[in-house]
Structure 1
Amino acid sequence: MINHLSPDMIEAAAERLLAVRNGAPRLIDLPVSMRPTSWDAAYAIQDALIERLGPVVGWKVGAADAAAEPFRSALTGQTVSLSPASVAHAGHNVFGIEAETVYRFDKALPPRDKPYRDEEVLEAIGSIHAAIELVDTHFAIWKGASHLSQIADQFNHAHLIIGSGREGGALVDAFNQPVRVVINGETFIEQRGGNAAGPSIRMLTWLANGGAASLGGLKEGTYVTTGSWTGLTFVAPRTHVEVTFEGIGSAVVEITE
């Protein structure tokens, strides 16, 4: 489906989303005149928002299941931190935590006509890390806005905390990788596998072969997170969270007032 929004409407939508980040009242959804009804329109708004937020340092990519078309959002430096991190709950609508794995690209994969093969993508990865994504909505109600409006607004991204990791060995068994989530000192989740999107390489290659093209592709030093392994857990202020992926690393965040 083509982008039905004019350049002016795309810019206006990005300004509305930016205004909420700067303290304006939250919207139920974008106004109908600038609400995306296609993926192209949603990504065009997202790109315009990212250009206002700052240089791209990372991406989030995921999929509803192992056969579904992936989706993406670019991430900027203001919402990406190294573990251990402290993030204030104040100013957010909700705060959910997700245990994720992050890939650091030590080699750039710029847009090109010839598709990248899985092997080329894997060769560009320098390390894999444990991570925690904090999710929020800049709209008034969690999941109250349309799905494409959420995509336009960085698909509910709030903050990404990148933990320790390992160099090389980027392939992870999506069905058997052990993962543990500890909240305030107590084990909350302990399981094997769990990423509904399936093997990460499918999403990483999709991102390299077009998903990231509109913003210059995957640059050297870029971090890419590939979806939740443990689902979404909402947390309150004064919460300590530690996520561990056995054989990979761990990430820690303190949710303050």
Structure 2
Amino acid sequence: MDKPSAVNGLAEIYLNARHRGELLQGIPAAFEPQDEAQAYAVQDAVARILTTGSGPVRGWKVGAATPEAIPFCAPIHAATILEDGARVDARLCRHFGVEAELAYRFARDLPRGDKPYDENTVLEAIGSIHAAIEIFDTRFDKPHSQSRLAHMADQGNHGAMIVGEGVADWHRFIPSTAAKMTLTINGTVTHRKIGGNSAGDTRRLLTWLANHAAERGLPIKAGDTVISGSTMGTAFVRQDSEVVVEFEGLPPVHATVQVASV
């Protein structure tokens, strides 16, 4: 099967799973992404359709397996970007994995230019830094059950993000590896860490993303929010839960997660 057909075929599978509320056990071998470019092409095909019901792309998630590894990313639509105190409806996701992340809200556009953005230019475009909760979700019946590229193509396993009140002086959080985080679920502290992001410091991620997004025709815009990778792995919740993420020096972010009964 040629690459365009495989891209469109997998995008249709993911979109049908979303619209029907179904969970996939796998995908046909012919549709399996062969490289990151193909996985991103599936993301773009899905994003074009989701824009109709979920609003435009107004954010990104970005991460990396190690401080030296090439980053990876996925676009995030307006409908899944929620503010502090949000109630995450059970109908929004099929899996509910809680992750504590630092989020950056941009104050200036970063359109495609004649040369790549350098780190200073990207950082100067940031307006504020926030504590955030990402809800890990997947269209598959079991998290982490498929290849890395299949999950990347599935919008990077994104379900929702909840963004706390921002602080303009993001410089105080350089390097991000020194940030102290606490995750509380239903009144119990479940995670307490310093750093913890597998990608290391987030400055490299943000610079890479600004250039990558512009090249894909989805450049970062003023008001867009970027989450920069989990600082504690993923904590799956199996019941309705009150979740609080705190980073020292930032206002905490709260969410009520409603979990569908199985």
Determine if contact 2:103/2:225 at 8 Å carries over to the other structure. Answer: yes
SS in 2 for 1:9: helix
- The TM-score with structure 2 as length reference comes to 0.92
Query: Counterpart amino acid of 1:155?
Result: G
For 1:104 and 1:136, locate their aligned partners in 2 and report how far apart those are by CA, in whole Å.
22
**Residue number in structure 2 paired with 1:160:** 161
SS in 2 for 1:89: coil
Structure-to-structure mapping, 1:182-197, within 5 angstroms: 182-197=184-199
Structure-to-structure mapping, 1:132-143, within 5 angstroms: 132-143=133-144
C-alpha displacement at 1:216, in angstroms? Answer: 2.6
Equivalent in 16, 19, 43 of residue 19 of structure 1: 16
User: Bigger CA drift: 88-97 or 221-230?
Assistant: 88-97
Query: Counterpart amino acid of 1:103?
Result: Y
For 2:68 and 2:112, locate their aligned partners in 1 and report how far apart those are by CA, in whole Å.
24
For 2:58 and 2:160, locate their aligned partners in 1 and report how far apart those are by CA, in whole Å.
12
Query: Counterpart amino acid of 1:202?
Result: R
For 1:43 and 1:81, locate their aligned partners in 2 and report how far apart those are by CA, in whole Å.
24
Q: Give % identity.
A: 39
For 1:87 and 1:247, locate their aligned partners in 2 and report how far apart those are by CA, in whole Å.
25
Task: Give the RMSD, CA atoms, in angstroms.
Answer: 1.6
Task: Note the alpha carbon deviations across 1:147-173, whole angstroms, 9 max, x for none.
Answer: 101001111111100111201324433
C-alpha displacement at 1:175, in angstroms? Answer: 2.8
C-alpha displacement at 1:27, in angstroms? Answer: 2.1
C-alpha displacement at 1:123, in angstroms? Answer: 0.6
Task: Note the alpha carbon deviations across 1:166-203, whole angstroms, 9 max, x for none.
Answer: 01324433332111111111222222211121111100
Task: Note the alpha carbon deviations across 1:54-87, whole angstroms, 9 max, x for none.
Answer: 1101000000111111000000012111111111
CA distance 1:251–1:207, change in 2 (3 Å): same
**Residue number in structure 2 paired with 1:69:** 70
**Residue number in structure 1 paired with 2:107:** 106
Greater strand proportion: 1
Query: Does the alignment pair 1:35 with 2:32?
Result: yes
Unaligned 5+ residue runs, structure 1? Answer: none
Greater helix proportion: 2
Aligned residues: 254
User: Bigger CA drift: 99-108 or 89-98?
Assistant: 89-98
SS in 1 for 2:128: strand
CA distance 1:203–1:92, change in 2 (3 Å): same
